[in-house]
Amino acid sequence: MNERKLSRRAFLGTAGAATGLAALASLSGCAPKTTGAEQSTADDIAANGAMQTTDPSKAVWPVVEEIEVGAAGEGKIAFVAEPIAESDIVATHDVDVVVCGLGPAGDAAALSCAEHGLKTVAVEKQSTGNYNSATIGGTSSKLHQHWGMTYDTDAWIADAMVDCAFQGDMSLYRHFLEKNGEAVDWYIGHFDNQNLDDYPLTFAAGDFPDFRDEYDKTSLSRSWNTSLNLPYPPGDLAGILAGILENAGVEIRYSCPACQLVSDDAGKVTGVIVKSEQGFEKYNCAKGVVLATGGYEFNQQMLKERCRPRSVPGSWLTGAFGNTGDGHQMGIAVGAAEDEFPQPIMLDPEQLMPYLRVNKLGKRFTPEYEPYGHLALAIQAQPGTYDFYIVDDAIDEKIDKIWTPSSSCYGPKEAWTAAARSEKALKADTLEELAELMEVPVDEFVASIERWNTMAAAGKDEDFGFPGDMMMTIDTPPYYATKEFADGLCTAGGLLVDTECRVLDKNRTPIEGLFAAGVVSGGMFYNTYPHNLNCLSHTRNCLMGYTIGEVLGA
């Protein structure tokens, strides 16, 4: 059984060397404990992270084999499809804006609206806001300037369009490049800590304007070095932002999910109905409603309808138990268009180190030193949607071969080597015995390892192009193999929007009064989330929220 596991990004903000071993061991299959506010919401989950087998004859999307997919669980859906009667409304409020959801996008939207003089209410489904990462990115903020970082934005957007197979809306990417620095500077300006030295580059790679010449040696994976760390643990950010919002005049209501949008006869969204402890309450919104409700990881029906079985990861790294697609469904109910199916999922490999990988046929299948999303997709494409990563008993000494200046951003060397030899790993004194434990063809597996060792000695991967000077031999028994799936962070398909974050209908016409920000919005990603464009998601959250305040406050 493969269970939900601790977010690596949450680990980044709090772990030292000692806790790193335990935390990274969890990345090999141990489930996290929920505490405090998370527990009450976790109690609503009907399923744990148990693996499920998808029968090809019963799949919504065709598959060619039985595959295992990870069930994040079934959350408590807040969306109400049937019209809520006026007689069921226990209270009515008149405001300018209601922001639905208090993650990074909702926080930014509520703050920006309030600072533009709008009477703003923020409602959150869970008993606290939710942050999985203490990072921010972009290409042109004062933080990037502080660290001397410059970027070829034409090359950046070219990569972005290749990542989305030219299915994404280029205007959204252009808007991101034009405005991200302004939005990030605004966002950072609200924190108590204004020492720019305390906002380091996540991947400590230095300055490389032409990343294609340098990223092989400086990044943890082949990625744009655009991500920056915030000087706060991820678990503290929801509380910090709540204080900032309250100081700006935002009224915050927790455990108060949005359930249904209200529209007039012309189709304009005029308000939203929420559910408090007292019952249904209606907000009449003079300016608009903002959906910032996250994804649909905990809505199994939506996952089955919108995602290929092979795309659903073998395990999930999320504690956002309230993410049941409520905003998606509310928008669709009033005529919103969404990304066409199948929709993408943001993915990581379970193991971030570029260890040697083989599939269930005993064969290598990819250059392991790739952006996380690309490696995760390669894993999902294998028979059974899994692989094995392989190390030998000398990994403590050999890991320096693959250790880059940025590898420590997610934990110390000891944590990574311990994860590769954890209790989840298969262990054998010979390669033949290891293959039998893995239940892979012995001859193919042994030939794959011998081929790798020969190329490592020569310093060149002639099969897949792994950096030759980073290749480490597998020749010191005992040997270890760990079964690996792709990890899901969140869904990445949503309601179509324009550069002003206005939700679009099926004719690509804005629905008056309705806005979307963050993961609930779409139009940018296809097949996968582009991890090589580091921290695009969190920066987009910030930018979209900032933009909505500008638009509604104009």
- Per-residue pLDDT tens over the stretch 438-485: 999 999 999 999 999 999 999 999 999 998 988 999 999 999 999 999
- Per-residue pLDDT tens over the stretch 316-347: 887 788 999 999 999 999 999 999 999 999 99
Does one domain contain both 452 and 504? no
**Which of 173-177, 233-237, 259-263 shows the lowest mean pLDDT across its residues?**
233-237
Task: Give the end of a domain, one of 470, 489, 508.
Answer: 489
Displacement of CA 77 from its chain's centroid (Å) = 21
Cβ–Cβ under 8 Å, residues 124 and 118: no
- Per-residue pLDDT tens over the stretch 358-392: 999 999 999 998 888 889 999 999 999 999 999 99
> Which residues, 6 or more positions from 417, have their beta carbon under 8 angstroms from its beta carbon?
391, 395, 396, 399
Q: H-type helices in 86-210, by residue range? A: 104-115, 142-146, 153-163, 170-188
Average pLDDT, the chain: 86
CA distances from 552 to 119, 185, 190, 274, 549 (A): 11, 20, 21, 21, 5
In a domain, 332, yes or no: yes
Does one domain contain both 450 and 506? no
* Domain CATH number, residue 392: 3.90.700.10
Does one domain contain both 455 and 339? no
Give the DSSP H or E segment for 306. helix 300-306
Of 44, 3, 236, which is closest to residue 130 (Cα–Cα)? 236
- Per-residue pLDDT tens over the stretch 480-528: 999 999 999 999 999 999 999 999 999 999 999 999 999 999 999 998 8
CA distance 497 to 510: 8
Does one domain contain both 394 and 534? no
Q: With b meaning 16 or more CB within 10 Å and e meaning fewer, what string describes 317-354?
A: bbbbbbbbbbbbbbbeebbbbbbeebbbbbbbbbbbbb
- β-pairing verdict for 426-428 and 279-291: unpaired
Write down the pLDDT at residue 222: 61
* Domain CATH number, residue 92: 3.50.50.60
**Which of 32-41, 229-238, 310-319 shows the lowest mean pLDDT across its residues?**
32-41
Position 413 pLDDT exceeds 80: yes
Q: H-type helices in 315-411, by residue range? A: 326-333, 372-380, 395-398
CA dihedral sign, ordered 68, 307, 296, 168? positive
Amino acid at 451: R
pLDDT band at 132 (very low <50, low <70, confident <90, very high): confident
Position 22 pLDDT exceeds 80: no
In a domain, 519, yes or no: yes
Does one domain contain both 382 and 524? no
Does one domain contain both 379 and 496? no
Dig out the tokens for 262 from the structure: 């209200």
Residue with tokens 């204004």: 194
Q: State the maximum Cα–Cα separation within the chain, in Å, rounded to a whole number.
A: 78
In a domain, 42, yes or no: no
Listing DSSP states for 5-41 in one string gives ---HHHHHHH--HHHHHHHHHHTTSPPPPP-THHHHH
In a domain, 405, yes or no: yes
Does one domain contain both 335 and 372? no
CA distance 315 to 487: 5
Q: Residue 543: which domain range?
A: 86-343+492-553
CA atoms within 13 Å, Cβ hemisphere of 79: 20
Q: What is the DSSP letter of 91?
A: E
Task: Give the end of a domain, one of 489, 504, 535.
Answer: 489
Amino acid at 441: P
Of 549, 516, 528, 527, which is closest to residue 172 (Cα–Cα)? 516
Position 1 pLDDT exceeds 80: no
Does one domain contain both 106 and 214? yes
Number of domains in the chain: 2
pLDDT band at 69 (very low <50, low <70, confident <90, very high): low
Q: Average of pLDDT values for 218-237?
A: 79
Residues comprising the chain, all counted: 554
Amino acid at 405: P
Does one domain contain both 123 and 165? yes
Position 551 pLDDT exceeds 60: yes
In a domain, 81, yes or no: no
Position 64 pLDDT exceeds 80: no
pTM of the model: 0.86
- Per-residue pLDDT tens over the stretch 427-438: 999 999 999 999
**Which of 106-120, 212-226, 231-245, 457-471 shows the lowest mean pLDDT across its residues?**
212-226
Does one domain contain both 174 and 321? yes
Write down the pLDDT at residue 216: 42
In a domain, 153, yes or no: yes
pLDDT band at 73 (very low <50, low <70, confident <90, very high): confident
Q: With b meaning 16 or more CB within 10 Å and e meaning fewer, what string describes 77-96?
A: bbbbeeeeeeeeeeeeeebb
> Which residues, 6 or more positions from 358, have their beta carbon under 8 angstroms from its beta carbon?
364, 365, 387, 388, 390, 440, 445, 448
Task: Give the end of a domain, one of 434, 469, 489.
Answer: 489
Backbone angles phi, psi at 38, to 5 degrees: -65, -35
Position 81 pLDDT exceeds 70: yes
Write down the pLDDT at residue 316: 83
**Which of 8-17, 124-133, 514-523 shows the lowest mean pLDDT across its residues?**
8-17
More confident residue, 42 or 359: 359
- Other CB atoms within 10 A of residue 48 CB: 13
Does one domain contain both 359 and 332? no
In a domain, 239, yes or no: yes
Write down the pLDDT at residue 9: 36
In a domain, 110, yes or no: yes
Write down the pLDDT at residue 221: 52
Q: Average of pLDDT values for 248-268?
A: 98
Does one domain contain both 163 and 231? yes
Backbone angles phi, psi at 13, to 5 degrees: -80, -15
Taking only Cα atoms into account, the Rg of the chain, rounded to an integer number of angstroms, comes to 23
Q: What percent of the chain has pLDDT over 70?
A: 83
Q: Average of pLDDT values for 277-305?
A: 96
Backbone angles phi, psi at 268, to 5 degrees: -70, 135
**Which of 9-23, 231-245, 280-294, 531-545 shows the lowest mean pLDDT across its residues?**
9-23
pLDDT band at 310 (very low <50, low <70, confident <90, very high): confident
Write down the pLDDT at residue 152: 86
Write down the pLDDT at residue 86: 96
Dig out the tokens for 444 from the structure: 């193919």
3-state class of 101 per DSSP? Answer: coil
